[in-house]
Amino acid sequence: MRRQILTSLLVGAAVLVGTELRAQQPAPPNLDAIPEKMPFSNPYGPPIGAQRAESLIEAAAAEATKKGWPMNIAVVDSGANLVAFLRMDGALLASIPIAEHKARAAVKYRRPTRVFEDAVQKFDFKYILSLDDIVASRGGIPLIEDGKIIGAVGCSGGAGSQDEAICTTAAALVNK
């Protein structure tokens, strides 16, 4: 009898916890909804220049140094071509191409790479991973000036939240 009561209590608790967890999950977006306007439709503009790209790298590196996070930082132009890159001392070697990939994905798809991470992690949209040149990891941010994309910055070497924080510092110099 005690065992049945205990089992009933455990099952009831599991149902309540499961219900609570489901209630906390965001509702998945309706993929059949047709938006009035095109999302992420900023047009491409003239490419960011080398000097300006270097200033973004310097700002990102200064913030990363202040926090003690060695990073790889890449800036690409509006055509997804690498303009500037820095591998900070001690930054993870494997993250060199990842930083570049994040910047390229952000400019090609005209959106922060966090959008892809959220699509996979929060909504289980695995199909995102089948798109060309996607990286489903935060740390890539488009650079938008006067409503036009002039490039993107990508950071890698830490946790995704760290990569994104450093990229945000650099992007803030352009994105107003």
Q: 151-165: per-residue pLDDT in tens? A: 999 999 999 999 999
- Structural domain includes residue 18: no
Is the separation of the CB atoms in 72 and 98 below 8 Å? yes
Q: How high does pLDDT run on average in the chain?
A: 89
pLDDT band at 27, cuts 50/70/90? confident
Distances (CA, A) of 39 to 101, 115, 156, 172: 22, 12, 26, 21
6 occurs within a structural domain? no
In a domain, residue 117? The reply is: yes
Residues 40 and 67 sit within 8 Å (Cβ to Cβ): no
Closest CA to 100 of 151, 49, 149: 151
The answer to whether residue 16 is domain-embedded is: no
* DSSP three-state, residue 25: coil
pLDDT for 38-51, tens place per residue? 888 899 999 999 99
Residue 44 lies in a domain: no
Look at 5 and 153; give whichever has higher pLDDT.
153
Domain tally for the chain?
1
CA neighbor of 171 nearest in space, from 69, 70, 103, 95: 103
Question: What confidence tier does 115 reach under pLDDT thresholds 50, 70, 90?
Answer: very high
* Residue 38 covered by a domain: no
pLDDT, one tens digit per residue, over 58-90 is: 999 999 999 999 999 999 999 999 999 999 999
DSSP H or E stretch at residue 144: strand 140-145
Q: Residue 34 falls within a domain, yes or no?
A: no
| CATH code of the domain containing 90 | 3.30.450.150
Domain residues for the domain of 118 are 50-171
Q: Which amino acid is at 125?
A: F
Assess if residue 131 is contained within a domain. Answer: yes
